[in-house]
Amino acid sequence: MAATVATAAGARAAARFTKNLSPDKINLSTLKGEGQLTHLELDEEVLQNVLELPTWLAITRVYCNRASIQIQWTKLKTHPICLCLDKVEVEMQTCEDPRPPNGQSPIALASGQSEYGFAEKVVEGMFIVVNSITIKIHSKAFHASFELWQLQGYSVNPNWQQSDLRLTRITDPRRGE
């Protein structure tokens, strides 16, 4: 039952980040904690909020050919969710007039929270692997593009080592955050 609730919440969160998510694109084994999505157009505004881009730069298109996820349901507090993105294409442009500032965290909105909570902790602790990302930036003055391969992002403890996720969060004792 908990896996079903978590899966439903995950599907709602995934839908918030995508434009064209439909049931035929989802290949998910709830009990195994594995899933795959293909041919995704991601929501530019949501990604701008997550990435906290400067207001003079706007994302115009993001495409991912394949995303897979592995979740260890019984170890969510201690082991990261693994998100693997195969090929990501990002198109951006400079803004002549600054766009509106970034909005609220889409992670908090998807989970129905207004504060840092369990959903943010789970996302913060994700292990992300990107096989290839191509970023194109368009401006009136220039056009640029670059490609990065084999990117990995993960949480570490204060000694810069991968460890139990409970040890990767540092709390300010004065504010409790």
Cβ 85 vs Cβ 128: under 8 Å:
yes
Task: Give the pTM.
Answer: 0.70
* pLDDT, average across residues 46-73: 89
Residue 12's pLDDT band, with cuts at 50, 70 and 90, is very low
The DSSP secondary structure of 16-83, one letter per residue, reads HHBSS--GGGEEEETTTTEEEEEEEEBPHHHHHHHHT--TTEEEEEEEEEEEEEE--GGGTTTSPPEE
* pLDDT, average across residues 77-90: 90
What is the C-alpha to C-alpha distance for residues 167 and 98, in angstroms, rounded to an integer?
39
For 111-151, the pLDDT digits (tens) are 555 566 666 677 777 889 999 999 999 999 999 999 999 99
Hey, what are 36's tokens?
């795959």
Please choose, from the candidates 24, 75, 19, 17, the residue with its C-alpha nearest in 3D space to the C-alpha of residue 46: 17
- Token look-up 């990107």 returns 130
Counting residues of the chain whose pLDDT is more than 70, the rounded percentage is 72
The pLDDT of residue 50 = 80
Neighbouring-strand partners of residue 130: 85, 151
Summary mean pLDDT of the chain:
79
- Token look-up 């970023």 returns 135
Highest-pLDDT range among 20-34, 133-147, 151-165: 133-147
Strand 82-94 relative to strand 127-138, pairing: parallel
Residue 107, pLDDT above cutoff 70: no
The pLDDT of residue 71 = 87
